Amino acid sequence: MPLNIDNDVHRFRTIVKGRVRKDLRRFMQSGELLGRQGDRIVSIPLPRIGIPRFRYGDNEQGGVGQGDGQPGDAADGQPGDGQGQAGEQPGQHVLEAEVTLEELAEIMGEELALPRIEPKGHKHISSERDKYTGISRVGPEGLRHTRRTFREALKRQIASGTWDAGRPRIVPVREDKRYRSWKTKSEPQSSAVILYMMDVSGSMGREQKEIVRLEAFWIDTWLQHNYDNVQARFIIHDAKAREVDRDTFFRTKESGGTLISSAYELAWRIIEADYPPDEWNIYPFHFSDGDNWSKADTKKCLTMLQERFLPACNQFSYAQVDSDYGSGQFYEDLSGSFSGDERLALSRVPDRDHIMDSIKELLGTGR
Amino acid sequence: MSDLREQLDEALARDGDGRAELHGPGWTAQLDHGEAGPVGVVVERLRVEGRVGDLVDRAQVLADTLRPAGERLQPVEVDPALGGAVLRTRPDDMRGGRFFQLEVDRGDAELTRQRRRAEGGRVEEPFPMTREELSRVLEALGEVLGAPEDEVDGG
Amino acid sequence: MAHESYFFRARRGLPRELQEAQTWIEGIASGYGLQFCETVFEMCDWQEINMLASYGGFPTRYPHWRWGMDYLQMDKSYEYGLQKIYEMVINTQPAYAYLLDNNTMMDQKLVMAHVYGHVDFFTNNAWFAHTDRKMLDRMANHATRVRRHMDAEGQDVVETFIDMCLSIENLIDPHLPHIRRERSESEREKEAARRAPGYARMPARHYMDKYINPPEFLEEQRQRHQDRMAAQARFPDSPVRDVLGFLLEHGRMRPWQRDVLSIIRSEAYYFAPQGQTKIMNEGWASYWHTTMMTRDILTDAEVIDYCDHHSGTVAMQPGRLNPYKVGIELFRHIEDRWDKGRFGKDWMDCDDVAVKRDWDTGAGLGRDKIFEVRRTHNDVTFIDEFLTEDFVREQGLFTTTWDKKAGHYVVDSREFGAVKQQMLTMLASRGNPPITVTDANHGNRGELELTHAHEGMDLQLDWAELTLGNIARIWGRAAHLVTTVDGRRTVLHHDGASFTVDKEGKPGAGEKQQKEAS
């Protein structure tokens, strides 16, 4: 039921999103959002959105309490009446607002000018049951899911700047329309798999792995926003590769040398076993410091890319992170061999400050 | 003046194409260099070929004993299966993003100077060294790499 | 009635059972002597209650993000206890109160009884005598005016100005019994000569300006005016607590800004008495709902359930001061004393503990006394006059203080004088430092000087910087705040763009902090 306050709520959320947008680079490189994820929600710390006023400093004012207790015992302190404002956490002046992962993805998409991905061809997952589930963009008018449709229209209008909170009018256009959809054998539902690969050899330090972790969060957010159904698989490698779970992926350190081909081989086996390219949108992401063991091994990798990955995947992405020692040759080898090939996205990440630029390089192709 | 130093001076005096060759017990070396003055020489690459030995031990011994230009080295990657290791200057001893890199492969090792680039990546750079210092480095490398498998010790 | 349209499109009357309950409870309340205007109960769902709470009890307010923020925060921590009822009765005529639709019947009756206590308080307490009971209409009018300005000037511009005004909405005079009505235009013009640093600028179209008012002429005028002002007595001649009012009268603002500031000010004054009587008002309403529920409303069977269920509301939270608890207990304490004649010279002079313990003259004046008190007092005078050593001891009250090492508050003292002093300090300021305008022509440059009457508590400096910046921008010239920090006299300066701090008051001496305004 619409309330008078809906406009004010919307206005506040717009301001919050504006803050996120303005500080996106900082959020991307500090990772402070990663710890604040719920299921579909991210908590944004907003240190300066409260309204300032003349007030006493924290802990300047004593208080009055009631109950048992000797002098010196702890008392639950809230000194005076009216010291706190709604929205403040006790003891701090950092407000938190919430943004859905979807909104975060939208902000990211707008700030980085990322084109929406058009899922290709007939990639779908088939299912035996007929059931109203999920929402799809096409369908007969009788099944139009009105609230979703209006929400899509609203999002679109806000995004394009045509929304006027003072004179709210929502006009859905065809692409806004959302329909209740049901799953049948031939009903398309877009699916994607992300194959994360990371070099965990001696030269990849903690900071480098942290950069990968931060980038992975944004990659996940973006791809989840673009596909109905996203899976992720994790491969770590030094001279050998193995599949692990998400936590292990970010925590492991080996000390051996680097054979990048080991990771690519394992990735390909996984694709062959579980993700037929005509049903899945496939996104391998490889992170390394670029020091492959030998030219021979690099050559193996280039061949695999040429003959297997590039033809089968939506996009193969490679990000080379720098350590204290800079980074190695692999980036140059790739860009030399595949110069101009749009199916390969390359990025260098000298340090955290460049995470945002790297994300744009990797996701900015719209593939 | 040590034997090795004399050998170095002679080799530098002899060669005309920027590559000097030296040898010692169990090892030979190629020094690719630029200008060579009376006190120092601009080193591009120093390669020592020796005998196969225990990689893990050698990597540690080299890290402990090799001090090119006073910089301490640390093993970054050590892979007995692949038969090689990479040692680099410890980050604390790095200045201006520059470091020594020693790549060990079976019985051979190659010493170069690298620099980390601000825009990402790294680049190899020639480095000036005194002849005295260079002969000390050669000596240390030769001792470790020239020793056969059962004779490596703490140097 | 016009206000009907402010409420929800699907205006719900109360279900019959509750209508009957209301009539019945109203009768009981009247029977006890409570006097109240017509009271309307609205049935609401949780979202509406949440909205109303965010809006301070009104169904609509001027557009601003702060309401949205409050709504979202409240949504997260749903706690519809009795605490919400305070915000959920508004001081209007007729009074409006809100019932949550999924409460039990017993809860609804309790709420109603409690509400009548509040409405009686609003109706009779002297501090509310000059509040605008037509506030429903006024709030809607305020909203319309703000929207009109937003249409004309742009939402962002107006919203930013509102942000600035809100940051000083606590700079009002808590003792001002009346709101000064807005001056008419002509009256304002008469004041023009006193507007610092106004000088007679001949009205001219801007493109003619430099001919009709050539720079030399203006300079001469300005100099003459400055000489005049310097010769005059200090302006204002005594410190002005109503800073908002002062800015309105003498600040340099565009008409729409003046209008917005006057709205913020009038709403601040409307709500001020509620802040000043919170303990009494809650105590009063709790006293009456307890009395009515246990004596009249509940059946014997229900009483037990009620006591279980509601002991929490007026219970103590360890260490924290619960205004309901203190208020109700103090009223009961007063009633008991006046019933037993424990007042007056004889009582005060008696120092025999045994005599005092058994003192009972059978005066029976308790009820009358508390009715009288609820008419005349506010929280400060309530505590000042009626807080006694006995009461402090019985209630187990203590002062708390911040322990730096431990990083939390600790129990400090149970001594009567200390407790009373602390309570009075807290209530007198309610977290709002006393700040006055002390010079409107500071430095002979028309800059504004304010003074913080330091009472042992330092200001929070980062917020002081931001707030002072807002004042400078509203005033139209630099603003200065004299205060004390760490025991040293300190002056903060803001010219709207940058902020500096002078310790020990000597300009140029001491530490200086140059910062860009945010």
pLDDT tens, residue by residue, C359-399 = 999 999 999 999 999 999 999 999 999 999 999 999 889 99
Interface of C with A in 214-273 (CB under 8 A): none
B77, B91, B116: residue with CB nearest A322: B116
C413 to chain A: nearest residue by CA? A71
CB–CB of B82 and A293 under 8 A? yes
Contacts C70 to A, Cβ<8 Å: 86-87
Angle (CA) C210 C214 C216, round 5°: 150
Contacts C155 to A, Cβ<8 Å: 165-166
Alpha helices, DSSP H, located in C340-454 = 344-349, 353-358, 366-376, 379-386, 389-395, 416-429
Contacts C487 to A, Cβ<8 Å: none
Contacts A58 to C, Cβ<8 Å: 460
Query: pLDDT band at residue C272, thresholds of 50, 70 and 90?
Result: very high
Strand ranges for A126-257 from DSSP E = 132-136, 179-182, 191-199, 229-237, 241-244
**Mean of the per-residue pLDDT values of chain C:** 83
| Two structure tokens written together for A109 | 């998409």
Neighbours of A207 (CB within 10 A): 13
Check residue C428 and give its pLDDT. Answer: 83
Beta bridge partners of C89: C97
SS3 state at C416: helix
Distance CA B104, CA B83 (A): 8
Neighbours of B96 (CB within 10 A): 7
Query: What helix, strand, coil percent values describe chain A, rounded to 5?
Result: 40, 20, 40
Angle (CA) C465 C470 C473, round 5°: 125
Residue (of A104, A101, A103, A106) closest to A116 by Cα position: A106
C467 touches chain A (CB under 8 A): yes
Distance CA C500, CA C87 (A): 40
C4 close to C276: Cβ distance less than 8 angstroms: no
Listed by start position, the domains of chain B span 3-151
- CATH 1.10.10.10 holds for A191-363: no
B113 touches chain A (CB under 8 A): no
Q: Torsions phi, psi of C45, nearest 5?
A: -90, 175
B125 touches chain A (CB under 8 A): no
| DSSP secondary structure letter of residue A202 | T
C273 close to C131: Cβ distance less than 8 angstroms: yes
Query: What helix, strand, coil percent values describe chain B, rounded to 5?
Result: 30, 40, 25
| Two structure tokens written together for B1 | 């003046």
Distance CA C166, CA C66 (A): 10
Beta bridge partners of A63: C400
What is the location of CATH 3.40.50.410 in chain A? Answer: 191-363
A167 touches chain C (CB under 8 A): no
A137 close to A157: Cβ distance less than 8 angstroms: no
pLDDT tens, residue by residue, C275-325 = 899 999 999 999 999 999 888 888 777 777 676 666 554 444 555 567 668
Chains adjacent to A (≥3 CB pairs closer than 8 angstroms) = B, C
pLDDT tens, residue by residue, C163-176 = 999 999 999 998 77
CB–CB of C432 and A71 under 8 A? no
C315 touches chain A (CB under 8 A): no
Contacts B84 to A, Cβ<8 Å: 257, 293
Where does residue A285 rank: exposed (0-12), middle (13-18), buried (19+ CB within 10 A)? buried
Query: What helix, strand, coil percent values describe chain C, rounded to 5?
Result: 55, 15, 35
| Two structure tokens written together for C157 | 């511009």
Listed by start position, the domains of chain C span 2-125, 318-429, 435-516
B121 touches chain A (CB under 8 A): yes
Contacts A76 to C, Cβ<8 Å: 317-320, 409
SS3 state at A297: helix
Contacts C436 to A, Cβ<8 Å: none
Shortest CA gap A39–chain C (Å): 16
* Measured distance between the N- and C-terminal CA atoms of chain A, rounded to whole angstroms: 40
A256, A327, A331: residue with CB nearest B78: A256
pLDDT per position in chain A (367 positions), as tens?
678 899 999 999 898 888 888 888 888 888 777 776 666 778 777 766 778 999 988 777 778 888 877 888 877 654 443 333 333 333 334 567 788 888 888 888 988 888 888 766 555 554 433 444 455 454 444 444 444 554 555 556 555 555 554 444 444 454 555 544 444 444 456 889 999 999 998 888 889 999 999 999 999 999 998 988 899 999 999 999 999 999 899 888 888 889 999 999 999 999 999 999 988 999 999 999 999 999 999 999 999 999 999 999 999 999 999 988 989 899 999 999 999 899 999 999 999 889 999 999 999 988 8
CB–CB of C431 and A80 under 8 A? yes
Query: Residues C405-424: what's their mean pLDDT?
Result: 89
Does chain C touch chain A (at least 3 C-beta pairs within 8 Å)? yes
| CA dihedral sign of residues C459, C460, C461, C466 | negative
Distance CA A27, CA A13 (A): 17
pTM (predicted TM-score): 0.71
